Structure 1
Amino acid sequence: MEVKVCVEGVQRVVCGVTEKTTCQEVVIALAQALGRAGRYTLNERFKEYERHVTPDERLLESLEKYGPHAGDVQLTLHHNGPPAEDVGGKPRISENQLYI
C-alpha cells in the first residue's frame, strides 16, 4: 500500500507499506530518500485533531481507526535537528521523536 506524507511542503509517497510497517520504518525511508539523518517526528492530523505518531505504531493500523475518513488524514514529517546521542554514542529513541 502507499502512504502519502508531506515533507518540507512536498507530498511524498511511501510505497510498500504493510500492516507490519512501523512509523519508524516510514520515517527512516523518508530520511534516507532525503539523504539527511536526524531527529524526526511524524504528525497525524485529522480536521482539528493532531498528534505525534509513536515510533513503534503500525501506521496502517492507526489510519484504519479513521474508517472511511482515513484518506482525509494528513501525515507530516518534521525534521527536529541533528541526531541526538547518549553517553555511549548510540542514537536514542523517545516516545514522540524518531532518531535515525
Structure 2
Amino acid sequence: MELKVWVEGVVRVVCGLSLDTSCQDVVIALAQAIGQTGRYVLILRFQGTERQLIADDCPLQCLAQLGQLAADVQFILRRTGPSISDGPNVPTRVHLRAMLGHF
C-alpha cells in the first residue's frame, strides 16, 4: 500500500506500507529520502483540524478507521527542530523500501 505525505509543500508517496507500518517508520523513511536530519512529526489534517501522530500510530489504520472520509485526510511531515546529532555530516540517502523493511 502507499501513503501520500506533504513534505515542504510537495506531495511524496511512500510505497510498501502495511497496516502495521508505524508513523516512526514513515517519518524516518521520508527524512532519509529528503536527505535532512532533524526532528520530525507526522501530522494528520482532517476537516480543518490537525493532530500530531505519535511514533506508534499506524497511518493506514487511521485511514481505515475513517472509512469513506479518508479521502479528506492529508498527512504532513513537519520538521520540529534539529536532531541532537546534527552536525557537519550529511546523512546518506537510503531507499524507502530499505528503511521500511519487507512490508
> In which range does the TM-score fall when normalised by the shorter chain?
0.7 to 0.9
Q: CA deviation at 1:72?
A: 1.5
**Is 1:47 aligned to residue 30 of structure 2?**
no
Q: TM-score, normalised by structure 1?
A: 0.80
Residues 65-99 of structure 1: CA distance to partner in whole angstroms, max 9, x if unpaired? Answer: 211111210000011221137xxxxxxxxxxxxxx
> 2:10 and 2:27 mapped to 1: Cα distance?
15
Structure 1 residue identity aligned to 2:69: H
> 1:64 and 1:19 mapped to 2: Cα distance?
9
Unaligned runs of 5+ in 2: 86-103
Q: CA deviation at 1:50?
A: 1.3
Q: Percent same amino acid among aligned pairs?
A: 52
Unaligned runs of 5+ in 1: 86-100
Q: TM-score, normalised by structure 2?
A: 0.78
Structure 1 residue identity aligned to 2:10: V
Query: What residue in structure 1 maps to residue 5 of structure 2?
Result: 5
Runs of 4 or more, structure 1, over 4 Å off, are: none
More deviation in 57-66 or 30-39? 57-66
What value does the CA root-mean-square deviation take over the aligned residues?
A: 1.1
